[in-house]
């Protein structure tokens, strides 16, 4: 009988992060997968993006992910027992033009996964909104900010540096509206 694989993205993140760590490979969870975990699944990504830190040989990455049941198909890793796939976009770790990203430990199950902080995950989603007018990414940034403490002055400064202060102001308006709708009425 085939074993049942991870059906939640967070479970896959935990398994993959553990396999990478066991192989001595440092990688940071980013993108939609990080947003999925930070929004407790309110946003759903179909893949997990990890940015590798340092030089990693393809065969070492293949071997590490094989221990988690994944095999490489072109530039992504798939496993027969989960619908999620794993990718390793080219680094460096950056959000827009900001290259000074410091990963934060994110507890996923019993594993600590290096990941974007809530502030940086919010900025990552806003970058997609600013540069590609991705409205779903704007909504996801609102969800992250509504569930976590984020550094609004850092997000504002970065938004200005990205030439997107109007987008930042729209983000704040949507966040205020979201919080008002979620507040219990007396």
The CATH number that applies at residue 55 is: 3.30.460
Same domain, 141 and 90: no
Residue with more model confidence, 107 or 7: 107
Same domain, 67 and 104: yes
Per-residue confidence (pLDDT) for residue 182, from 0 to 100: 82
For residue 91, is it within any domain? yes
- Residue-range definition of the domain harbouring residue 133: 118-182
Instruction: Collect all residues with Cβ–Cβ distance below 8 Å to 77 and sequence separation of at least 6.
Output: 65, 70, 71, 85, 86, 87
Same domain, 99 and 25: yes
Give the model confidence (pLDDT) of 139-154 as tens digits: 999 999 999 999 999 9
Count structural domains, the chain. 2
Per-residue pLDDT, averaged over 160-177, amounts to 98
The mean of the pLDDT values for the chain is 94
Q: What is the pTM of this model?
A: 0.92
Per-residue confidence (pLDDT) for residue 100, from 0 to 100: 95
SS3 66: helix
Q: Where is the domain boundary, 115, 139, 160? A: 115
DSSP secondary structure letter of residue 103:
-
For residue 156, is it within any domain? yes
Same domain, 106 and 165: no
Same domain, 104 and 35: yes
Give the model confidence (pLDDT) of 38-71 as tens digits: 999 999 999 999 999 999 999 999 999 999 999 9
Q: Where is the domain boundary, 115, 144, 170? A: 115
DSSP secondary structure letter of residue 41:
T
Q: Are strands 85-87 and 47-52 parallel, antiparallel or unpaired?
A: parallel
Same domain, 91 and 50: yes
Tell me how crowded residue 11 is: count the other CB atoms within 10 A of its CB: 15
């Amino acid at each position: 009988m085939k074993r049942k694989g991870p059906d939640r993205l967070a479970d896959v993140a935990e398994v993959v992060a553990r396999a990478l760590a066991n192989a001595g490979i440092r990688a940071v969870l980013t993108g939609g997968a990080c947003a999925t975990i930070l929004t407790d699944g309110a946003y759903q990504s179909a893949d997990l993006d990890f940015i590798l830190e340092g030089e990693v040989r393809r065969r070492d990455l293949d071997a590490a992910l094989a221990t988690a049941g994944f095999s490489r198909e072109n530039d992504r890793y798939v496993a027969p027992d989960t619908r999620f796939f794993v990718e390793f976009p080219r680094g460096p770790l950056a959000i827009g033009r900001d290259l000074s990203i410091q990963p934060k430990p994110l507890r996923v199950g019993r594993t600590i996964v290096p990941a974007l902080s809530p502030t940086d995950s919010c900025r990552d989603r806003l970058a997609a909104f600013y540069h590609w007018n991705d409205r779903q990414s704007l909504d996801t940034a609102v969800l992250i900010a509504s569930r976590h403490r984020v550094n609004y002055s850092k997000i504002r400064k970065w938004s200005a540096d990205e030439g997107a202060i109007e987008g930042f102001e729209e983000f704040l308006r949507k966040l205020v509206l979201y919080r008002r709708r979620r507040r219990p009425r007396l």
